[in-house]
């Protein structure tokens, strides 16, 4: 009876061929030109040629037609028009222009990954055997799309669209950077909107099995092209997930992540404007200068 899933995104980029090659290396499977699948999530990324890099569209899975009706009525109260069919509702986010589609579809059920037999003081899970994490294996692949972070010239209005209009929930807020972590599933966040001088795509994040999968996949990407490295390896404070960020050839950041907080019980989770957690990283390398405000952002704002 609600939103349950970040289904897919479409990004626009200049130099689409190089960007497509990046996401093939990243571990997504290009099933048709510019259309990419994850292991569990089906087709979750489209790459389209565009004059400048940006998020063009975002699709969310909902349980039933009542969810569409509710979102349509809420958008109408905000004065935002939506286009309705039996199984979809389409609208444009008024500030960034991102096209949004809510679609009735089944919930995603993921096959559990096999936990690593890890040894620790007082807890021996593996004896007389090498860790499988140390053995050679194929490059790990993303299980599914996790979240998207965008900049908006009116972040408050953009958030109102997603929260009051579509029914996204707020998981945490960080007033210092003007950020709110929003979800359309049990993930701690599927969408973050930050204030920016121009609407742009900050990063996409892709769920991996575990810390080793994050490290192994990102290390392989960086070994192939060192300039891809942005920030990692670390663990975020808000959301708790392990992260390693890379840069695609158009300038969008792409994050491998694992072990994100899950919010199953709305009442049990405490939305916090400030927690003991550092908003950016519990640990990790220093935040790079061009992370929060990417180097091309003023050029994007100038058009
Ligand atoms: Fe992220």
- Nearest to residue 144, comparing CAs of 4, 3, 243, 8? 8
pLDDT in tens, 195-233: 999 999 999 999 999 999 999 999 999 999 999 999 999
Q: State how far the Cα of 280 lies from the Cα of 234, in Å rounded to an integer.
A: 10
Task: Kindly list the distances between the CA atom of residue 201 and the CA atoms of 20, 56, 72, 95, 275, in Å, as whole numbers in the listed order.
Answer: 16, 9, 26, 13, 27
Given pLDDT bands bounded at 50, 70 and 90, which one contains residue 47?
Answer: very high
Name the residue with tokens 């294996």. 137
Instruction: Report how far ligand 1's centroid is from the alpha carbon of 242 (Å).
Output: 9
Q: What is the pLDDT of residue 275?
A: 62
Given pLDDT bands bounded at 50, 70 and 90, which one contains residue 1?
Answer: low
pLDDT in tens, 150-183: 999 999 999 999 999 999 999 998 887 788 899 9
Backbone angle region of 212, left / alpha / beta, with phi > 0 → left and psi within -120 to 50 → alpha: alpha
What mean pLDDT comes out for the span 64-93? 97
The 8-class DSSP code of residue 42 comes to E
Instruction: Report how far ligand 1's centroid is from the alpha carbon of 219 (Å).
Output: 18
157-160 contacts: CB < 8 A, separation 24 or more? 157/94, 157/95, 158/93, 158/95, 158/96, 158/193, 159/193, 160/78
Backbone angle region of 122, left / alpha / beta, with phi > 0 → left and psi within -120 to 50 → alpha: left
Instruction: Report how far ligand 1's centroid is from the alpha carbon of 66 (Å).
Output: 31
| Contact assessment for residue 239 and residue 182, using Cβ atoms and an 8 Å cutoff | no
Average predicted confidence (pLDDT) for the chain: 95
Q: Which two tokens stand for residue 86?
A: 């039996």
Instruction: Report how far ligand 1's centroid is from the alpha carbon of 255 (Å).
Output: 6
Instruction: Report how far ligand 1's centroid is from the alpha carbon of 85 (Å).
Output: 32
Q: Which two tokens stand for residue 238?
A: 């808000």
Q: State how far the Cα of 101 lies from the Cα of 112, in Å rounded to an integer.
A: 28
Instruction: Report how far ligand 1's centroid is from the alpha carbon of 112 (Å).
Output: 22
Instruction: Report how far ligand 1's centroid is from the alpha carbon of 293 (Å).
Output: 14
Instruction: Report how far ligand 1's centroid is from the alpha carbon of 104 (Å).
Output: 26
Q: How far is CA 233 from the centre of its chain?
A: 17
| 278 pLDDT above the threshold of 60 | yes
pLDDT in tens, 243-269: 999 999 999 999 999 999 999 998 898
Instruction: Report how far ligand 1's centroid is from the alpha carbon of 149 (Å).
Output: 7
3-class secondary structure, 76: helix
């Amino acid at each position: 009876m609600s939103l349950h899933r970040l289904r897919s995104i479409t990004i626009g980029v200049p130099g689409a061929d190089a960007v497509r090659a990046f996401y093939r290396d990243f571990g997504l499977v290009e099933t048709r030109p510019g259309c990419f699948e994850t292991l569990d999530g089906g087709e979750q990324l489209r790459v389209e040629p565009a004059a400048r890099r940006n998020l063009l569209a975002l699709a969310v899975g909902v349980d039933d037609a009542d969810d569409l009706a509710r979102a349509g009525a809420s958008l109408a109260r905000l004065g935002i028009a939506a286009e309705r069919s039996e199984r979809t509702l389409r609208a444009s986010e008024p500030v960034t222009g991102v096209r949004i589609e809510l679609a009735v579809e089944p919930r995603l059920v993921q096959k559990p990954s096999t936990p690593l037999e890890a040894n620790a003081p007082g807890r021996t899970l593996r004896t007389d055997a090498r860790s499988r994490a140390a053995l050679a294996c194929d490059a790990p692949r993303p299980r599914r799309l996790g979240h998207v972070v965008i900049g908006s010239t009116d972040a408050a209005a953009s958030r109102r669209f997603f929260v009051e209009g579509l029914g996204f929930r707020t998981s945490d807020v960080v007033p210092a950077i003007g950020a709110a972590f929003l979800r359309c599933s049990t993930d701690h966040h599927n969408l973050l909107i930050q204030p920016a001088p121009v609407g742009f795509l900050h990063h996409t994040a892709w769920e991996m099995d575990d810390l080793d999968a994050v490290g192994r996949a990102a290390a392989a990407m960086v070994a192939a092209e060192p300039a891809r490295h942005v920030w990692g390896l670390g663990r975020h404070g808000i959301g708790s997930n392990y992260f390693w960020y890379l840069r695609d050839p158009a300038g969008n950041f792409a994050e491998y992540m694992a072990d994100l907080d899950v919010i199953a019980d709305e009442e049990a989770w405490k939305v916090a404007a400030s927690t003991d957690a550092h908003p950016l990283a519990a640990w990790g390398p220093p935040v790079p200068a061009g992370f929060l405000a990417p180097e091309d952002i003023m050029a994007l704002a100038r058009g």
